[in-house]
Amino acid sequence: MLSVVIPSYKDPLLFKTIESLLSNAEGEIEIIAVLDGYWPEVPIIQDDRVRYVHLGGNRGMRDAINAGVALSRGEFIMRTDEHCIFGQGFDRIMTQSCQPNWIMTARRYSLDPVKWQLMDVPFVDYEKLCIQTAKYTRKFTGIPWRERQEERKDIMVDETMAMQGSCWVMPRTWWDKVIGELQTEGYGPMYQDSHEMVFKTWKAEGKLMVNKNTWFAHKHVKFPRTHSYGNTDFYPHLKYAHDLWRPYYEEIKKDWGL
């Protein structure tokens, strides 16, 4: 079984995302929608495959993911954002090919959340992990890796260096053994979760893979987001992640020929 965890904070697209998951899954699936300190204003979807977890207060995305994973029962765990759509059979395709020491993402398209359809924007298969200058510090970020995408276009399941973090699958045993939980101390409640998981996975001799045989579409960046820091100062948390992993990153770059 695949357990899909959706951290959610006041996003009106949550239920459309759940509908896309349910209608495109081909195997046994459970969906755990973690309501991060709020109740939806519209009626929830009543389906035996969907469970709702209400956190007592707004604890942030990292704690919401941790709470959902703790309640999950599947052999595989999937995390997705609350504003995505999915290809037919995404669950079967991802779980059948995911190895015990892999985190796997899929080909990513851009979603127009108003029209609820794919946008005419190039898809992303590979991302390169880079360090970007933020306002007050530096941070890890993934950028589309077009050269690798062209060079390896015929390899349908392949290693990539970074992911957006909006959709991934891994064996539950890998989460328990390597990830444990997403750390909030130092990292703060929100960001850099995908980089934390990838660094931990590499150190444990695992891989981050992209499966091009299926896809998801994530809300395009030009549309407003809901789960954010607001006016909170999050730059110290970006600095924490940068300072913690920078030395290891410099070693990893050599393995990637960068």
For residue range 110-149, list pLDDT tens digits in order: 999 999 999 999 999 999 999 999 778 899 999 999 999 9
CA distance 197 to 117: 30
CA distance 231 to 216: 30
Instruction: Quote the tokens at residue 166.
Output: 């909006």
The whole-number pLDDT of residue 179 equals 98
Instruction: Quote the tokens at residue 230.
Output: 């607001």
Average pLDDT for the chain? 95
User: Residue 228 — very low, low, confident or very high, per pLDDT cuts 50/70/90?
Assistant: low
Does 58 have pLDDT greater than 60? yes
Instruction: Quote the tokens at residue 153.
Output: 């276009």
Backbone angles phi, psi at 202, to 5 degrees: -60, -40
Identify the CA nearest to 85 among candidates 69, 102, 106. Answer: 106
Residue 253 burial (10 A CB sphere; 0-12, 13-18, 19+): middle
CA distance 42 to 149: 41
With b for 16 or more beta-carbon neighbours within 10 A and e for fewer, the 188-220 pattern comes to: bbbbbbbbbbbbbbbeeebebbbbbbbbbbbbe
CA distance 234 to 237: 5
CA distance 18 to 72: 16
Instruction: Quote the tokens at residue 90.
Output: 């995404």
Instruction: Quote the tokens at residue 157.
Output: 């399941």
Cα 221 to chain centroid, rounded: 15
The whole-number pLDDT of residue 18 equals 98
Count the neighbouring beta carbons within 10 Å of the beta carbon of residue 54.
12
CATH topology of domain 2-255: Spore Coat Polysaccharide Biosynthesis Protein SpsA; Chain A (3.90.550)
Higher pLDDT, 76 or 44: 76
The whole-number pLDDT of residue 87 equals 98
Mean pLDDT of 188-213: 97
Identify the CA nearest to 258 among candidates 84, 87, 130, 70. Answer: 130
Does 224 have pLDDT greater than 90? no
Identify the CA nearest to 21 among candidates 87, 69, 116. Answer: 87
Mean pLDDT of 187-206: 96
Residue 67 burial (10 A CB sphere; 0-12, 13-18, 19+): buried
